[in-house]
Amino acid sequence: MSLVEQMDAVTDASAGTVDRHATTQTFESTNPASGAVVGVFPVHDADAVNEAVERARAAATHWGELGFDGRKERLSAYRGYLARRMNELADLVHRENGKPHGDAILEITLAIDHLAWAGAHARKTLGPRRVRAGMLAANHAAYLEYQPLGVIGVIGPWNYPVFTPMGSIAYALAAGNAVVFKPSEYTPAVGAWLAAAWRAAVPDAADAFQVVTGYGETGAALCRAGVGKLAFTGSAPTGRKVMATCAETLTPVLMELGGKDAMIVDDDADVVAAADAAVWGSMSNAGQTCIGIERVYATSAVYDRFVAEVTAQVRSLRPGSDDEAHYGPMTMAAQGDIVRRHVSHVAASGRVVRGEADPALFPNENYLAPAVLLDVPESSPAVREETFGPTLTITKVRDAEDALERANATSYGLAGAVFSGSKARAMDLARRMRSGMTSVNSVLTFASIPALPFGGVGESGFGRIHGEDGLKEFTRAKAITRQRVALPVNLMSFSRPASATDAVARVMGLIHGRHR
């Protein structure tokens, strides 16, 4: 199916959720590089969202009855569909999000890998199993299984419009749930493409994955629609609003929020490799990466060399929309204002090293030159607040312990990185870094490993996607016991003799009462 045909299918799929509650209100998705219209999409109201959820609820029954093998087969068909049309989807991501085509390919590749892992490991992670009953229930068999929640609502971000929501969508589907997905209003075409692709690849379970489009009101309607769980990715302020809305119906939530991730560069680190990783981790995708590196703490032993290497690399970077550009425009224009404010604040008291690309040649104000921020006070917004743009602060510290203390002095706790020549020290620092994920001598690697959980602490959210934890996140644990034989004395009965509990107390004292 060509891109034009796919977008026609997208329109049909989007309209399909609102047949009975048609809305005349629409909105445009535009290319941040040029302002050209990418597509026009309906603003789904509460009635339309409720209808989509009800269709998904009906589909969830059939989807669950397919079992692990049936779902694995269909998830395989879906990832095959995505893999065959990878360039087509990457072109759409490039046009709607603005990132280079090659970066879009990398994002889609990661999403496909996670789809494969989720489908292949669902049975092992979630399937029924026997567990030990223990002494007090030795006459019982005990079973544990993980049951799907029904319908999962997913509210996705615009910065990684395929990979990030797929971390919830793929794992929720593999766990036996249906999904209703609301993509960001900045990337609705990508979200609708994913849903249309599902309908084409898995026609016998088409309603198991649906999309609704719109603004915050559409997301709020999804929160109130009676879904089994709501998975949200976005900023902490918006996350609080989502949680408050979900609290109205006691809908459980999974929060993947922002970060202010730090890198520690130790005395014996490979400075060139650390600089290369810091530049990629901070500037790729125009810095619009929740797990991107925004702060570096380099020890005094390597600080000067590290700064020289980083600034040399940054000077070669050029934003643009052509094939030679290193990164694209800011997808959300308002985010550019935050980046400019942070840089201006540093310029008033510290040093700003900018890339050599001439801003006068940028097509529009959505393009920002890369900036390295030096001599930045720890109280600066560039250190305390999420910048989410192509900037990087570098601070000289006494040693790695000083670096760790500063890295942990934040309300965020999503991810981070440690560069050190000592495996033991690097692992120790990584474990003590207050974050959900840490890479050693690399950046962002954990996101590419499907078996590892992904999530943060503090204002970076709670709950996990990816890995076994991600599969379990979209289920409820179900415990079942079955009496195998009746005991002469039933402790769970009013007819038990008084001596029975005394005997139990003596036995427990003999087994557990000894001091060891």
20 three-class SS? coil
Report, as residue numbers or ranges, the catalytic residues: 256, 290
Q: Average pLDDT across each block of 10 residues of the chain; the chain has 516 residues. List them in order.
A: 47 42 82 97 98 98 98 98 98 98 98 98 98 94 98 98 98 98 98 98 98 98 98 97 98 98 98 98 98 98 98 96 95 96 94 88 91 96 98 98 98 98 98 98 98 98 98 98 95 93 91 81
Burial of 513 (0-12, 13-18, 19+ CB in 10 A): exposed
Please give the pLDDT value at position 516.
67
Taken in order of first residue, the domains within the chain and their CATH numbers are: 3-257+467-475 (3.40.605.10), 261-448 (3.40.309.10)
The conformation of residue 253, written as its DSSP 8-state character, comes to E
3-16 vs 188-201: helix axis angle to the nearest 10? Answer: 90
pLDDT in tens, 260-304: 999 999 999 999 999 999 999 999 999 999 999 999 999 999 999
Please give the pLDDT value at position 140.
97
Sign of torsion, CA 280 285 291 295? positive
For residue 179, what are the β-bridge partners?
A: 152, 209
Q: How many CB atoms lie within 10 A of CB 43?
A: 18
- Contacting residues for 183 by C-beta, under 8 A, at least 6 apart: 156, 158, 161, 165, 190, 191, 192, 211, 213
Amino acid at 130: R
Please give the pLDDT value at position 16.
40
How big is the CA angle at 88 (ends 119 and 78), to the nearest 5 degrees?
A: 20
Please give the pLDDT value at position 355.
87
- The DSSP annotation for 397-449 comes to ESSHHHHHHHHT-SS--SEEEEE-S-HHHHHHHHHHSSSSEEEESSSSGGGG-
**Are the C-beta atoms of 103 and 165 separated by less than 8 Å?**
no
Please give the pLDDT value at position 349.
85
Burial of 94 (0-12, 13-18, 19+ CB in 10 A): buried
Burial of 124 (0-12, 13-18, 19+ CB in 10 A): exposed
Q: What's the rounded Cα separation, in Å, for the pair 40 and 482?
A: 56
Please give the pLDDT value at position 13.
42
Q: What's the rounded Cα separation, in Å, for the pair 261 and 297?
A: 11
Distances (CA, A) of 407 to 139, 279, 354, 384, 397: 53, 18, 24, 11, 11
The pair of three-digit structure tokens given for residue 351, joined into one six-digit string:
């040093």
How does strand 129-131 pair with strand 140-148? antiparallel
